[in-house]
Structures are given as structure tokens and as C-alpha cells.
A and B are shown apart, each in its own frame.
Chain A
Amino acid sequence: MPDVIRASGLVKRYGSVTALDGLDLTVPEGTILGLLGPNGAGKTTAVRILTTLLDADEGTAQVAGIDVRTDPQRVRERIGLSGQYAAVDEYLTGFENLDMIGRLYRLGRKRSRDRARELLGRFDLTAAADRPVKTYSGGMRRRLDLAGSLVAAPQVLFLDEPTTGLDPRSRTDMWEVIRELVAGGTTLLLTTQYLEEADRLADDIVVIDHGRIIAQGTADQLKAKVGGERVELVVASDAELLPARQVLAGLSVGDVQVEQGSRRLVAPVSGGAGVLLEVLRQLDAAGVAILDVGLRRPTLDDVFLSLTGQPAESSEQSDSGLVPQEAA
């Protein structure tokens, strides 16, 4: 498979801030690359360079085999871009927005109109087609923006945080649409802060921070890097912590952690569901009453935490009740 997106050694500096610090990317035809990183990691800068909006200070990039610096206009004919904020005109109707984009892709009057109607139908916006975008919900705007990037049926699609700020349902809908697109052969570069999103959609994931790649591979490879699965269980009373711990120690491949207050035990294991079954059997035999038990695989959040030393979404961190109760 030929690489549809190929970037090597991209560097971009803004004054003393280095937004990109030698980024290499390759995306084979018909696949999705998830570009993952916290705010300010350089994701958007990379997208802007690849979509000809910005010139890199160093390095080269080709999209669909065409150099973005020397022949940007031909690159633009082959790409679609949907930005972080919905770049649609809120005073125009949904139809007028898509029709305008079609005309600017030079599809001609009739084809622009037909294409606009077709895309509005596909994105479930037909009923709202002739309403100004001002009246649209956030999810509808995003869908329209995505539709806008598809007007010319581009070979390569760049989606910069397509679901940031969407409610969970709109996000799932968006994932559905994106999967259909790629099933149709489009090559996609997707940036996201949502690890779940990259996990669900991307064939390959590149994690960047401070403009540099800190990890890459499939979601499974990245998870394997952080370590395997663990059994987590919560026992009914303090008296059962000790026997439970003895059971886990016999089956664990590492140290068993015990959290006294919550009566929770965590033990790294290998062997998947079989181990879990064995844990349950032995706990039962030992007469230990448990409130909760589960086999937990690492999420990309764990990957991120272990790679960067900080969680992917610091804003969520402050909401997650980590503040000690005593402080209140």
C-alpha cells in the first residue's frame, strides 16, 4: 500500500516555542492514523502544515504524492479538512454552506447543488437544510463541517479533533460516519485528545508531546507497552483483606496492592479470563465475600500517563474527586 501522507522531520517554531520538533508521519492508503496528544502537543500545527495552511520551518511533507510546499494548490484539490471549531458560516443555511464549498471546489452550479443535497441527506440534515446554521446544535454543526470537507470526495481527509465538545451520543454518531468513510477507501488523519476515540477508530496511533513522537503503534501494542491486565477486587469487610490477599498473591505475576480504606486489592496477572475464574474459585473456597471483581486491561489513558507522566485530560482530573475528603 502506498503512503498517502508522508511527513519527515517537520519542525515549526513560534518564537522560542517549538510547536513541532522533527515530526515523522506516514499514513498508508485507506487507513486511519490517530494523532494523539494533550493540548499544545503540536497536533493542530501538524495538520495545518499537511493541509497547506502553514509552512514548516524544516522538513518535507507529501500528501497524495504531492509536495505541500511546492505545489499546495494541487494538494488542496485532493484533501478535505474539518477543523477543531466548526468552520461553517452561521449566517448561511446548511445547503448554502455546502453549495458554496462545491462552487469553490469548482464543481459547477448543478453538481454543487446535487452534492450539497446528497451530503445533507447522508448526514441527517435534510430537515434543517434551509435553516441558517445559527439555529443548529453543536452536533449538527460538526456534521455539517464534516460534510463540507467531503464535498469534493477527497482522497485524503484531515479531521482535527472532530468530536471535541460533543455530547456522548453525537460523538458515537460521528464515529459511525467516520468509519463508513474509511470503509469507502478514504485515507484519514485524525487528531484527538480522547484516547477512547483513537482506540475505537485508528489503525495506527502516534502519540506526540511537545512536538515529538513519544510512542507509536496499534492501540494493542501501546497498551502492551504499559503492562498487562490486572485483577481488581473489593472485599466485603476488613477481616477478609488478608485471605483475599493470600489468594491473589498465589496467582499474581507481581506485587499485590492493597488499599485499606476502600478494601480494594489490585494484582497484575497474565492469562486473561482463566485467571479471573481461578481467583474467584479460590476466593470462594476460602470463604471470602466480595463486593466487586473485574479484569481490567490498560486503557490508552494508562498509556498516556505512563508515557508523559501526566493524564491526557487534566481538566477531567480536577473533576474526578481526587481531592481528599478531609479537606472539605
Chain B
Amino acid sequence: MSAVPQMFADSAVVAKRNLIKIKRVPDLLVFTLLSPIMFILLFAYVFGSAIEVPGGGNYREFLIAGIFAQTVIFGATITGAGLAEDMQKGIIDRFRSLPMSRMAVLVGRTGSDIVNNVLTIMVMSLTGLVVGWRIRTSVLEALAAFLLLLLFAYAISWVFALVGLLVPSPEVVSNASFMVIFPLTFIANTFVPSEGLPGVLRVVAEWNPVSAVTQASRELFGNLGANATVPDVWSLQHPVLYTLLWVVIILAVFVPLATRQYKRAASR
């Protein structure tokens, strides 16, 4: 077998191993799935009572795409925590002493974490439907939205792969992720319309890729109110393209960085 199919075969073995863990430790999955449900309910009923959507749209419809985006990004931290745990327990050493592909541990890890995010999106969609969210376009467009969310989360997974290989323990990944992900997902149009934000924050929010992926999902689900206007910035006028651009940039930077770090990572 040549190098690339071999790499995917090895990655599949690693991914299978990660998925077995989800099966063996169901508590982990339960909490991963419960927190987005909680978020949807909290935001829909607490914030939803006070936040006005421009153009007179329904806040719950407005909210769901934002929560999707935030949750799949948090899902990407599992990649970092998982790798940090493998480093800590010496399993990475075992992998590195085997004649397997040098990328398989990372490709397998990020790959199996997509499964996690797919499950999360399914649960969130059901919760959303219960609180009044609707897909007002076609199945195809909705699928495109889900795909874009997963793709963006996959790219972020590689960022956390690098983080996971650099930090001393999985707890550090979780703590660090809060520091990064909260501002990243709040200074955006996820929970409130970006138009209302003060000066600098507004510019940041408009060019934040999280805003773009949220905006793209809203459009693809048909969740923008009938009279909604899209801010006149390129990133939000072309949210799908802008999101894809970020995906490409993040992968181009972090796949090589994480792979290099894996090769040199000395277990601690």
C-alpha cells in the first residue's frame, strides 16, 4: 500500500479506538450532549425575553445557528483534551514507537471527534425544534449548513490538536479553551446581532469567522427574519466563502504545525 491510503488505514484504526472510548464512558457523551441543550433553553427563555432581533425576526430562530456554532467549536476542544490525555498516559509514546503513519494519530483523533459533533448537532437540532426553531429552506440547504459547521469545527480541531500536544495535561486544555472560545464566540453575531455592538467590537464581530459561519447557517436554514438586513461588510455578505477561506487557512497552518509537534513531542 502506498503512503496515503496507508495513512488513512492507520487513522481509521486510531479513530476506532477513540470511538470505543465514547462507548465505554457514556457519561462523557451525556455531558457533551446536555450542555448544548441547557444553552439552548437558557438563551431561548432568559435572553430571548429581552433581545430584539432587527427586522422583527424570531430570537429563537436567530439563536439556534449561533448555539450550533459555539457548541461545535467547544466540541473541537475534545481533540486537544484527548491528545493531552494520551500524552500524559504514555500512549503517544507507544504510537510513536510503531511503524505507523506519522499523521495517523492526529487524523484519527480529529476524525473521530467529527462523530462527536455530529451527535451533538443532532441533539441540538431536536432541542431547537422543540423550542420553535424551523428549517425554512430545503433539506439540501440545511445539510449544507450542517456540513459547513462541521467543517469549521474540524479546522478548529486541528488548532486544539496543537494545543493538546503542547500543554501538560487535559485540564489545561479545558481551562485554556474557555479563555479563547468564550470571547471568540461571544464577540460575534452568535447571540446578539452584531449591529448593536460598540465600535471596535463591532468590527471584530463582523470579521470574526464565527460570525460568518453563524451567518451562513442562518441563511441556509432560512432563519433570517423577512426584513433582516445583512451588515454591509464582505465577510457577512459572502459568509460561506469567507468561512471556507478560514477553514483552508486554519488547516494550512495548523495541520503542519500539529504534525511537527507530534513528531517531536516528548511525553511528560
Contacts and interface: CB of A to CB of B under 8 A. Distances in A.
Interface string A79-111: 111011111111110001000110111100000
Interface in B1-43: 6, 10, 13-14, 16-17, 20-21, 24-25
Q: Is the contact region of chain A dominated by helix, strand, or loop, or is it mixed? A: loop
A56 to B, nearest CB: 13
A124 interface: no
Nearest to B97: A81
Of listed B10, B14, B20, residue having the most chain A CB within 10 A:
B20
Q: Is the contact region of chain B dominated by helix, strand, or loop, or is it mixed? A: helix
A84 B94 CA distance: 11
Interface string B178-199: 0000000000000000000000
Contacts of A268: none
Contacts of A73: 99
A88 B10 CA distance: 17
Interface stretch (A45-53, A182-190, A208-216, A254-262): A45-53
Nearest to B20: A92
A267 to B, nearest CB: 49
B17 A89 contact: yes
Given A83-B90, A85-B90, A104-B13, A76 B97 contact: yes
Contact of A52 (B6, B91, B97): B97
Contacts of A101: 94, 98
B93 A53 contact: yes
Chain A contact-residue range equals: 20 to 34
Interface in B164-178: none
Contacts of B89: 85, 87, 90
Interface string A104-138: 11100000000000000000000000001000000
B20 A91 contact: yes
Contacts of B13: 100, 103-104
A52 B98 CA distance: 10
14 contacts: A53-B93, A81-B94, A83-B90, A83-B93, A83-B94, A85-B89, A88-B94, A89-B91, A90-B89, A91-B20, A91-B25, A92-B17, A96-B20, A100-B17
The 3 A-B residue pairs whose C-beta atoms are closest, nearest first, are A87-B90, A76-B99, A87-B94
Given A79-B97, A100-B16, 16 more contacts: A54-B266, A76-B98, A76-B99, A83-B90, A87-B89, A87-B90, A89-B17, A89-B21, A91-B20, A91-B25, A92-B21, A101-B94, A103-B10, A104-B104, A105-B99, A132-B24
